[in-house]
Structure 1
């Protein structure tokens, strides 16, 4: 049984919850907390795609404390990375993770457009979370590699350079990072619309329409391409 396991904050990334548990446990060594969480089993965590570690940890909590469905839907990036999966494929992935198995999703890009890899935070979110909850935490939406701006506050995210593979060995709570002010850099016109679109994809329940190419139709409606009944348009 895991004592002092924290309740997730709104939009808190699952890795962030584990980081706060490490702090609450009082352990000085990361390996001690890892052993306590997984009972000596080899588990990979801190990945952008959740694995069997979610179910393994929840099985050590009293029934009803946390729901695996709530964790997967609201505290991991699973909804984002399965946004174009069919309903049946989503169901298969969900059931595998519920059972403590891997999702089967591979080749997820870890690097941001500039080639960097690491954890990201919004300075304004950091300040407001500290005021409201007494501590900052890693927001899951900020960890999407394509995201450069906070969708809520429209300011650039700050990156803490670290390899995601390294995070399976250490706990790095945001409270241990000196949160700096918003960085000043040139803002491209596409950044804010992209941030809004990503946030919408994360929170919505999307799936492709079988046998119907929405992108193809949208391009045709915008005047690009051709159909069998029309010639090529300029």
Structure 2
């Protein structure tokens, strides 16, 4: 599918009409793609938009938590916001809107499964939010994020399971009186963009696997996979 066709489909899935479609295209251009085409300058990939989108996410998700949970204390608000905007969760949300199909990657990154890497998915998601902010302003970005995050913010059940490792340990301790163990299966990618693979094991059985840009996030992803099975 041609890049322009990908862009049109991506716009339809986001449910937001860009005035400047070049912003959306930049949001899905990974640095590896820009580099291979002689466009190593920052303005030609999504890294600056990712930086902006990260800031917009923190503000918008914090405001939504404050609005929807008026009795939640400051520490809990901070903890839940951190869980909702971390790499693993943003990668999950990127997959939910089908963003993984639209990220433009270099040949090497594509061959190594770059569109499945949490760091790349989360970065593209943040970049798209940054693009919406620049194109439509704060209100447009907040409306889009409200729509995307509302299922995770209404009621407490979704929030209670954002720390998957703690939840899994509590569950196994309660049922069997034992805690699970985590093992690093491997790592891949360059030193500045490594992807770690972890497994969670209980009584010799692998309960779940996870990948992320840090060992801690990979363990969280493995625990989340285990919880999903259970």
Measured against the shorter chain, the TM-score band is under 0.3
Higher share of residues assigned helix:
2
TM-score of the superposed pair, with normalisation by structure 2 = 0.24
Q: Pick the structure with more strand per residue.
A: 2
Q: TM-score, normalised by structure 1?
A: 0.24
Q: Which has the larger radius of gyration?
A: 1
